[in-house]
Amino acid sequence: MWSGERSTNCSPPIFDILAWDTPDALKIILSCLVLLICQVSVSIVFLIHRGTPLVKASGGVLTFLALLSLTGACLSLLLFLGQPGDVLCHLQLPLITIFQTLALSIILSISLQIFFVTEFPKKVAPHLHILQGPGSWLFVLICCAVQAALCGWFVKEEPSLSEFVAKLNINFERAFLSCPVSSDKLAVMQGLNCAMALVSFMSTFMAVKPHHQYNLARDITFSTLIYCVIWVIFIPVYTGLTTNILTVSKSKSIVHVYFTLASNLGLVVAYYFPKCYLLFKNPDYNTPEHFCTFLEGVPPTPPQEEEQQPPPAK
**Residue 1 above 70 pLDDT?**
no
In this prediction, residue 247 has a pLDDT band, given cuts at 50, 70 and 90, of low
Count the Cβ atoms, other than its own, within 10 Å of residue 23. 7
Residue 307 has pLDDT above 60, yes or no: no
Give the pLDDT band of residue 314 (cuts 50, 70, 90). Answer: very low
DSSP string over 209-265 = --TTS--HHHHHHHHHHHHHHHHHHHHHHHHTS---TTTHHHHHHHHHHHHHHHHHH
257-284 pLDDT, tens digit per residue, is 999 999 999 999 999 999 999 998 888 8
Q: What percent of the chain has pLDDT over 70?
A: 84
Average pLDDT over residues 282-310: 68
Q: What are the two backbone dihedrals, phi and then psi, of residue 169, each rounded to the nearest 5 degrees?
A: -85, 100
- Beta carbons of 253 and 263 less than 8 angstroms apart: no
* pLDDT on residue 160: 82
CA separation (Å) from 119 to 28, 107, 219, 272?
A: 43, 18, 18, 24
Alpha carbon of residue 15 to chain centroid: 32
Domains defined for the chain, CATH in brackets: 27-296 (1.20.1070.10)
Buried b (16+ CB within 10 A) or exposed e, 50-78: eebbbbbbbbbebbbbbbebbbbbbebbe
Q: With pLDDT > 90 as the criterion, what percentage of the chain qualifies?
A: 44
Residue 313 backbone class (left: φ over 0; alpha: ψ -120 to 50; beta: rest):
beta
Element (H or E) spanning 11, and its range? strand 10-11
Digit-coded pLDDT (tens) for 155-199: 888 888 888 777 766 655 667 777 888 888 899 999 999 999 999
Better-scored residue on pLDDT, 99 or 206: 99
